[in-house]
Amino acid sequence: SYAITPRADDYSQWYQDVIASAEMVDQSPVKGCMVIRPWGMAVWDELRDELNTRIKNAGAQNAYFPLFIPMSFLSKEAEHVEGFAKECAVVTHHRLCADPNGNGLIPDPEAKLEEPLIVRPTSETIIWDMFRKWIDSYRDLPLKINQWANVVRWELRTRPFLRSAEFLWQEGHTAHATKEDADATAREMLEVYADVCEKTLAIPVVKGEKSPCERFAGADATYTIEALMQNGWALQSGTSHFLGQN
């Protein structure tokens, strides 16, 4: 059993005590990461199934893209680099070897990758590289692809389910013949997110648009739903981005 801190004493600790007592999550031996226990995973499964149905009804198809992204892909997108550089985990070697000094294992000096790989913080760059191959003309549009995946963003301050170094999510990416169609799709998906929050999770949200300094890196516009926590803070609960030509 867990001792639950009174909410009025420490709101943040109260939240963490409640989800631990409910056996939804546990601490991980990896700093900043969480172990989602069966009760927590059951909630995620129900949410994913509901949202997945709505995404497919909006005309998207599911696909899966690599966990590793060449560093050069992010380097091509200056705003992406600026937005994610400090959060990226980087793979530089493809195997380990015994430390000749007897201190366990070290990256094998002879196994250094020709190009470092970024552990997926988001998939825009690699998905759009594939879109470039799949789209030959306007007849191939609109193209709507969704991915259920895990991403890694090396957060300094983490909270289970709210933000951890690794977390589960979905990301939809679409290509359109016109700006108006692309923007309408971004707004449509925000409505889907809001409806799921309110009707499936029973969480009221406020819909709006992020200010320029809060936009997703590289976006022309970021649409958001914000929930109000019981301590009076706003919690970003879903976003949909209009990327323009980026």
CA terminus-to-terminus distance, the chain = 51
Q: Of 36-40, 44-48, 231-235, which gets the smallest average pLDDT?
A: 231-235
Q: With 80 as the cut, is the pLDDT of residue 173 above it?
A: yes
CA distances 104 to 29, 91, 94, 101, 147, Å, are: 19, 19, 17, 8, 38
pLDDT of residue 78: 63
Amino acid at 34: M
Contacts of 71 (CB under 8 A, 6+ apart): 90, 115, 116, 117, 118
pLDDT of residue 55: 97
Look-up of token digits 């301050």: 157
The mean pLDDT of 122-126, rounded to a whole number, is 92
**CA quadruple 9, 13, 18, 19: dihedral, nearest 10:** 160
pLDDT 10s digits, 60-105? 999 999 999 999 998 887 666 677 788 999 999 999 999 999 999 9
- The structure's pTM equals 0.92
The mean pLDDT of 210-234, rounded to a whole number, is 92
Q: With 90 as the cut, is the pLDDT of residue 199 above it?
A: yes
pLDDT of residue 218: 82
Under DSSP, is residue 94 helix (H, G, I), strand (E, B) or coil? coil
